[in-house]
Chains A and B, each alone.
Chain A
Amino acid sequence: MTPEGARAREAALAFFVEELGASRDEVETGALVTRGLLDSAALVRLAAILETACGVTIPDRDLTVEHFDSLDAIAAYVARLAR
C-alpha cells in the first residue's frame, strides 16, 4: 500500500470510529455505504478529511459506492488519485 493509501485508511478509520461512533469490527466488515453507515452527509465530511489529510482533490462524481464502500476501496482510490 502507498503512503497516501495508508494515510487515507487511517484517517477514514478514525473518522468512522471517532466521528460516527462505529466499532472497528463494523468498519472493517465493509459495505459502509450499502449498510447505511456512510450517508451523503458523512461522505462529504469524509471527503473533506481525506482531501486535507492526503493532499488530494476528490471530484464530486467520484463520491460513489465503488470508491467508498470499504476501507480498502477508500485507500486504493486515494492512492490512485495521488499518483
Chain B
Amino acid sequence: MLLAVCAAVLVAPLYWILVPVRWRRPALTLASLAALGAYDWRLLALLPATTLLVVGGVRVAEAGPATLRARLVVAGALAALLVLFVWNKAGGPGGVSGTLASQQGLAFLGVSYLVLKASAVLLDATAGARSGATVAGVLGWLAFAPTYPAGPIERWERFAAQAPRFDRAQVLAGAERILFGLVKALVLGRHLGVWADGVLAAPAAHDRLTLLAGAYAQSLRFYLDFAGYSDVAIGLAALYGIRVSENFDGPLWRRNYVQLWQRWHMTLTGWLRLYVFFPASRWLVRRAGPTHATIPIVAAQIATMTACGLWHGLAWNFALWGLLQALGLLWVGVAARPLGRRLPPPVVRWWRTSLIAHGLAVWLTFTTFSLTVLFVVTDTGGAVRYLGLLAGVTG
C-alpha cells in the first residue's frame, strides 16, 4: 500500500501541470483502472461489468420507476450484486473467514464497498431519483482508486457533481492528511496490534488487567487502522481535487452507543440507515401505528446491525457482533430514556451535566465497545473464552 500511496503522491504534480481541466476526470478513471488492474487484472472486467449493470438498471428504472419491468430489472441487478458479494466473502483463500479479513484475503479487492455503492444508485432510481448516470461517469466513480479498497462510501451524486480544480490549500491539506493517516494506520495501529494480538493469542497467560488492556488495544487498533486508511483515502482524493466524505469523528470518546455509532464509519452507517433501517422500521411502524413503534424499531435495529456485522464477514461471530451493537443502540434509544424518567431529577441532572458522569459514561461506552470488538478479531469461541478469563469465570 505504501508504494501505491507514494506513487500517487509523486504523480500528482504531473496531473495538475499536464492534464487539461476537461481531461482530468477521464484521466483519474484511467489511472484508477491502471492501478487496480495492476493489483488484480480481473478488476478490469469486474468494474466495467458492474458499471454496465448499474447504468442499465438505472436507465430502465428512470424510464418508469413504478413499472413491473423496472422492478424486475433492478431486483435482478441487486440480486447479481448480492451473489457477487456473498461469493467474494466466501471465495477468498481458505473460504469464509472467521475474523476481520484484510482485503488481500478476499477474492476481489473492494467488492464489499463496490456492492453498496452500486446498490444505492439502483435503489435511488427505483425511488424516483434522477441520477444522470453515464457509463464513463459511473465507471470513474466506482473505480476511483483512493476510495475503492476501503471507502469512504462516497455517494454518486456528490462525486459526479465535482470537477477537479487546483486548490493549493486543498492539495496541501490532502498531503498532510495522507501523512497523518499513514502514521495512524501503519505506525500506531500496527504496533498496538502486534501487542494486542500477543495477548489475544494466549489469554490464559495474562492477568485480568492485561486482558482488559488487550481489549482496549484491539478496539483502538481497529479504529486507528480503519480511520487511518480513511484519512489516506480522503487525503489522496483531495490531492487530485476530489472531496470525499468524512468517515470517522472521534467515535471512541463518546458518552453513549448512539453517539459512537453516529461517528464510526459514518458513510457505512449512513448507507445502512437510509437503505435498511429507515425503510424497514418505517414500513413496520406504519402498520403498527406510532403508539406501538417500539417493537418495530427494535426489530429493524436488530436487522440493520446484524446486516452490518455480516457485511464485515459472513460468519456467526460477525452476526453476533452486529447483534451486540444493536443491543447497545437499543439500550440508549429505547430502554434508557424511560428508565431515566423514573430516576430522581437531581440524579438525571447530574448524569447529564457533571464532568465525572461524562467521564464515566465515556469509559463505560468505550469498555463495552472494546469487549464486543473481540468478536471481530477472533472467532466466537475465542472471544467467549477471552471474556470468561477477563470476568474470572474460566481459568
A residues sitting closer than 8 Å to B (CB atoms) are: 19-21, 36, 39-42, 44-45, 47-49, 51-52, 59-61, 63
Contact = CB atoms under 8 A, between A and B. Distances in A.
B273 interface: yes
A10 B278 CA distance: 24
Interface stretch (B23-31, B38-46, B330-338): B330-338
Contacts of B286: 48, 51
Contact of A41 (B127, B129, B334): B334
A36 B352 CA distance: 12
Nearest to A26: B352
A44 B285 contact: yes
A40 B326 CA distance: 12
Residue from A36, A45, A47, A61 with most neighbouring chain B CB atoms (10 Å): A45
Given A21-B341, A44-B285, A39 B279 contact: no
Given A21-B340, A21-B341, A41-B301, A49 B290 contact: yes
A60 B259 contact: no
Residue from A21, A39, A40, A63 with most neighbouring chain B CB atoms (10 Å): A40
Contact of A45 (B279, B297, B341): B297
Interface of B: 127, 129, 256, 258-259, 262, 273-274, 277-279, 281-282, 285-286, 289-290, 293, 297, 300-301, 329-330, 332-334, 337, 340-341
A47 B273 CA distance: 14
Contacts of A19: 337
Given A21-B340, A42-B333, A60-B282, A36 B258 contact: yes
B282 A48 contact: yes
A40 B257 CA distance: 12
B333 A39 contact: yes
A20 B290 contact: no
A71 to B, nearest CB: 18
Nearest to B258: A39
A59 B286 CA distance: 13
